[in-house]
């Protein structure tokens, strides 16, 4: 993974609102309307933050009629670990 791709991934994770969105999505797929109630930001800002997370490969969308459901991608945690420097991921805990 390039340094630029790693920086982009960590940039997506560096915003408190996006972390709240990921917290809300942990364990379950949620409709945008549910996320709107949980995160409590303007709809256009929610769309922006979801786009950043989608572009970083951390969430994916599923259209259901006129609704859009979001969930954390199955490989999101692997991508975050892969973006860490090797020294951090190769260590074994005592």
For the whole model, what pTM was predicted?
A: 0.83
For residue 84, tell me if it sits in a domain. Answer: no
Distances (CA, A) of 91 to 7, 39, 75, 83: 22, 35, 21, 15
State the CATH number of the domain containing residue 74. 1.10.10.10
Q: Total structural domains in the chain?
A: 1
Q: In which domain, by residue range, is 29 found?
A: 3-79
Cβ burial, residue 18 (10 Å; 0-12/13-18/19+): buried
* Residues ≥6 apart with Cβ < 8 Å to 45: 17
* 94 domain residue, yes or no: no
Residue 26 in domain: yes
Tell me, yes or no, whether 88 lies in a domain.
Answer: no
Distance CA(61)–CA(43), nearest Å, equals: 16
pLDDT digits (tens, 9 = 90+) for 43-75: 999 999 999 999 998 999 999 898 999 999 988
Q: Is the pLDDT of residue 88 over 70?
A: no
Tell me, yes or no, whether 64 lies in a domain. Answer: yes
């Amino acid at each position: 993974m390039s340094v630029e791709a790693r920086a982009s991934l960590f940039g997506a994770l560096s915003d408190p609102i996006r972390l709240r969105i990921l917290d809300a999505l942990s364990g379950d797929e949620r409709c945008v309307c549910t996320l709107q109630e949980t995160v409590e930001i303007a709809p256009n800002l929610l769309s922006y933050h979801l786009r950043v997370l989608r572009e970083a490969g951390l969430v994916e969308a599923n259209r259901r009629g006129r609704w859009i459901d979001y969930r954390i991608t199955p490989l999101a945690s692997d991508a975050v670990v892969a973006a860490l420097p090797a020294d951090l991921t190769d260590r074994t805990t005592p």
